[in-house]
Structure 1
Amino acid sequence: MSGFNLRFLGHSTVRLELGGRVVLTDPVLTSRIGALTRVVPAPDPRYWADADLVLISHLHGDHLHLPSLRLIGASTRIVVPRGSGSWLAKRGFRHVEEIAEGETITDGDLRITATRAVHSGHRWGPRLTHGPQSAAVGHLVTDGATTVYSAGDTDLFDEMAGLGPVDVALLPVWGWGPNLGPGHLDPERAAVAAGLLRARIAVPVHWGTLAVRGLSRTARMRRLLIDPPRRFAAAVAAAGHPCDVLLTEPGENVALPATTDLA
């Protein structure tokens, strides 16, 4: 895995260095996102300013965040679920491409394939019908030697087993509130996903970063900002999956094993 690096920037945002490219997933880079406040420091700009490619899994505001995309730059290549490109282009972004489940694009030596995701694709939530909507996706990113699966937001689905084996799975293990709605993985279901994917390494994401203003002071929310990835690691171990869970705090570099350990 020479030249391969990961940094968990918080929530679903991961900086992926692979195949000589820098890829950002679902970038959320600011201290506030609507009614949500960031409970950890915002990422240093040096970790997103050189992005070659941005992957957007779905249209929810904590995954497609317009102020964060404007920080990265209107000319950066942004890949969005099919059907949402014109909506984003109308907001001034000049290099927007669409991809649907099963479709593949290339960026240098990288191949990015959209996968199924079981999650609402509506911008404003599953109960509304007006406004932009497109099917949520995950992404498989590979340089031919290393494959990373970025789930975005999803629940379990049978076809997940057909995506593996993967070298690294970026799996959501919680969210930003005291409860999870439909279309999400909790720590135990994320452990099932790690097994289905036959992931050699799993990095828990979508936790410990955002909370509704004021709720972060409650005892339950304080636990939910800390516990989910640890529950995930425990569930993976209890299931006997041959998967290394690399629990990484928001903002930190993922401590990947040495190349020889992954041969």
Structure 2
Amino acid sequence: MIRIRWLGHSTVVIDLDGARLLTDPLLRNHVGLLRRVTPPPGRADWADTDAILLSHLHLDHADVASLRQLPTTPIFASAAVAGWLSERGLRTTATSAQWQSVSDSTSAQIRLVPAEHHARPLPGRPCDANGFLLRAASGRVWFAGDTAAYPEMADLPDWAGGRIDVALLPIHGWGPRLSAGHLDAAGAAEVCAVVRPRFVVPIHYGTLHPFGLNLRRLDWMHSPAETFAQTLAMIAPDTTLIELAAMGPTWQMPTA
């Protein structure tokens, strides 16, 4: 069974054959100068999480205060990211491009895949970014993290061992403009045309805005979803769009 619930921005609850995984948890109303437009998740929303998947150390993805709300939950990340988090007292597991089990109680496995997202290093934090592949008997999931397109994306199905069932794909960001190292809505649709997942869940849009921004002019928060849907239908018609509302209901992947 594969079940997906989007908690906003890059935070997703993934239920995969008995394993509950939480990506890039942002569990507070704000981080730095960024504010949520929807209420933050409550503890019930991430209850029973078996592992956290952390893509990189930008503040909107690696909020230490949020991570400390799950003090006993292991954080899977690259060696550089895991080392930085471990120095701050967090429980980490260094992950690589080799498949490894999430826990002894589930058959779900994960591995790192590349991400092209190195344009905005933060002082004192390793500039290391990755996505994750997940696999179990029910199927394969790709959490892209934060990334621009890169040539090796064409290899993702081979790395996953078959067609990817669900892609969790960023389609924008937290401001009116995107810096290098990001996918916009049209670019994300082009990635789907290359990778050909069965289903795609757009994330990383419509949740955060910079403090003090004119809240009457937030069309940039919602227009990426429309652009993505239109472009996907034109260039990747064999990928089914699953539009989830932040903090909305859970979607369960239908059986083949």
The two structures have a TM-score, normalised by structure 2, of 0.92
Q: Is the 8 A contact 2:145 2:170 kept in 1?
A: yes
Deviating more after overlay: 29-38 vs 208-217: 208-217
Match of 2:110 in 1: 112
- Aligned to 1:4, which of 2, 5, 11? 2
Which segments of 5 or more consecutive residues in structure 2 lack a partner in the other structure? 158-162
Secondary structure of the structure 1 residue equivalent to 2:61? coil
> Is 1:53 the equivalent of 2:48?
no
The count of aligned residue pairs is 248
The answer on whether the counterparts of 1:230 and 1:247 sit within 8 Å (CA) in structure 2 is: no
1:173 to 146, 171, 174: 171
Whole-angstrom distance in 2 between the partners of 1:64 and 1:46: 20
CA contact (8 A) 1:246 1:254 kept: no
- On the 8 A contact 1:81/1:135 being kept in 2, the answer is yes
Q: 2:160 aligns to what?
A: none
Alpha-carbon offset, residue 113 of structure 1:
1.1
Residues 240 and 131 of structure 1: is their aligned pair in 2 closer, same or farther, counting only changes over 3 Å? Answer: closer
Partner of 1:86: 83
Tell me, in whole angstroms, the C-alpha distance in 2 between the residues paired with 1:37 and 1:201: 29
Give the letter aligned to residue 240 of structure 2: D
Equivalent pair of 1:174/1:187 in contact (CA under 8 Å):
yes
| Paired AA for residue 139 in structure 2 | T
CA distance in structure 2 between the aligned counterparts of 1:40 and 1:182, rounded to whole angstroms: 26
Letter of the structure 2 residue corresponding to residue 86 of structure 1: G
Alignment map for 1:120-135 (pairs within 5 Å): 120=118, 125-126=120-121, 130-135=123-128
Return structure 1 stretches of 4+ with deviation > 3 angstroms.
254-258
- What SS class does the counterpart of residue 84 from structure 1 fall into? helix
Inter-partner Cα distance in structure 1 for 2:240 and 2:252:
10
Root-mean-square deviation (Å): 1.6
> CA offset at residue 110 of structure 1?
0.9
How big is the shift at 1:134?
4.4
Deviation at 1:224, TM superposition (A): 1.5
After superposition, the C-alpha distances for 1:92-132 in whole angstroms (9 at most, x for unaligned) are 21x311123x23221131110100100028xxx33x6x412
The aligned counterpart of 2:133 is 140
Change (3 A) 1:134 1:240: closer
Q: Which residue of 1 aligns with 2:32?
A: 34
Deviations for 1:12-57, whole angstroms, at most 9, x for unmatched residues? 0000001201100000010010100111111131121311100000
SS in 2 for 1:15: strand
Q: Which moved more, 1:63-72 or 1:103-112?
A: 103-112
Q: Is the 8 A contact 2:143 2:167 kept in 1?
A: yes
Distance 1:54 1:103 in 2: 17
Flag structure 1 segments of 5+ consecutive residues without an equivalent: none
Over the matched positions of the two proteins, sequence identity in percent amounts to 37
Please tell me whether residue 253 in structure 1 is matched to residue 249 in structure 2.
yes
Q: State the TM-score, normalized to the length of structure 1.
A: 0.90
Q: In structure 2, what is the equivalent of residue 64 of structure 1?
A: 62
SS state at 2:154 partner: helix
Instruction: State the alpha-carbon separation in 2 of the partners of residues 134 and 205 from structure 1.
Output: 22
Tell me whether 1:158 sits opposite 2:151 in the alignment: yes
